[in-house]
């Protein structure tokens, strides 16, 4: 009986995790001129986080770039990203929509 409960709980956790992963929307790579320290990153992340639909922000300070992932059904355009970066006191270096993960088609 205990193994059945354990298996059911594992299945439930896997379902929840896969739902969260599938709920992610498009991602964008933003390069920011002058992004050099955690304090800089915090200020930019704070402004980007105010944009409706932003789900996650991953920051690579050494590369001077951020990956912004939106909620499913939301998008980010370059103008809104530029405004957020500007409000943080920085300059948008580049903006790129990232491709969705590649899928294989075995037909």
pLDDT value at residue 99: 73
Q: Residue 39: which CATH number? A: 3.30.70.100
Q: Cβ atoms within 10 A of the Cβ of 58, count?
A: 12
Beta strand 65-71 with 24-33 is antiparallel
Q: What is the mean pLDDT of residues 56-80?
A: 96
Residue 77 in domain: yes
Question: What percent of the chain clears pLDDT 90, i.e. is strictly above it?
Answer: 69
Under the banding of pLDDT at 50, 70 and 90, the label for residue 18 is very low
pLDDT value at residue 101: 47
Q: What range defines the domain where residue 79 resides?
A: 24-97
Number of domains the chain contains: 1
**Which residues neighbour 106 within 8 Å (Cβ) at sequence distance 6 or greater?**
none
Residue 5 in domain: no
Residue 17 in domain: no
Residue 41 in domain: yes
């Amino acid at each position: 009986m205990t193994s059945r409960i354990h298996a059911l709980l594992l299945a439930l956790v896997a379902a929840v995790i896969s739902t969260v992963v599938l709920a992610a929307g498009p991602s964008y790579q933003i390069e920011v001129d002058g992004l050099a320290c955690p304090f800089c990153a915090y200020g930019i992340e704070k402004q980007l986080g105010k944009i409706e639909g932003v789900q996650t922000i991953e920051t690579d300070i050494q590369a001077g770039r951020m990956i912004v992932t939106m909620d499913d059904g939301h998008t980010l355009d370059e103008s809104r990203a530029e405004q957020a970066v500007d409000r943080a006191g920085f300059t948008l270096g580049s903006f790129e929509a990232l491709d969705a993960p590649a899928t294989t088609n075995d037909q």
